[in-house]
Amino acid sequence: MSEGEEALSTFLEAVAAAAREIELLLAAVRQRRDVESATSRLDCRSYSSAVSLEAYVDAELVSGDSLCWWLEVTRRDSEWALEASVRLTTSSGQDSLWEYEIASHGDWRSVVAGLPSAAQELARTSLLRAGEPL
């Protein structure tokens, strides 16, 4: 296998592992009594200034509020970033409940290597509620 093929294989394995964690997160979120409905998605997007892999679980709560679990890998110019967060949206605005970030200037390997663990950490927050520690 060539170096390029090996790098692509490593990337695809990391994305597949993250996708499995997002599926597990969705299943866990759907079991919560305070959740009315939940959806998830994993997309690759190309913006004018960046390319990104985005995954999320969005939950509409019985209260009318919403929770969003977000995972994103972004390449902007020669910089790579890996971010994950949980955000609560209410009628008063949006609050961050949890954040995870790996910034890697030019080293895509550390971002790809960190993707499965970031997704796993995000999935562990499935029971997170506003005002409660993990």
Q: Which residues pair with 84 in a beta bridge?
A: 71, 100
pLDDT digits (tens, 9 = 90+) for 109-124: 888 999 999 999 999 9
Rounded CA separation 18/120 (Å): 7
Average pLDDT over residues 45-58: 96
The CA distance from 21 to 35, in Å, is: 19
pLDDT tens-digit series, residues 62-104: 999 999 999 999 999 888 999 999 999 999 999 999 998 876 7
The H or E element containing residue 12 is helix 3-30
- Shortest CA distance to 30 belongs to which of 67, 64, 65? 67
Cα torsion 10, 109, 22, 19 to 10°: value is -20
Measured CA to CA, the distance from residue 88 to residue 127 in angstroms comes to 13
**What is the rounded (10 degree) CA torsion for 81, 87, 95, 75?**
20
Which pTM value belongs to this model?
0.90
Q: Which of 107, 129, 121 is nearest to 17 (CA)?
A: 121
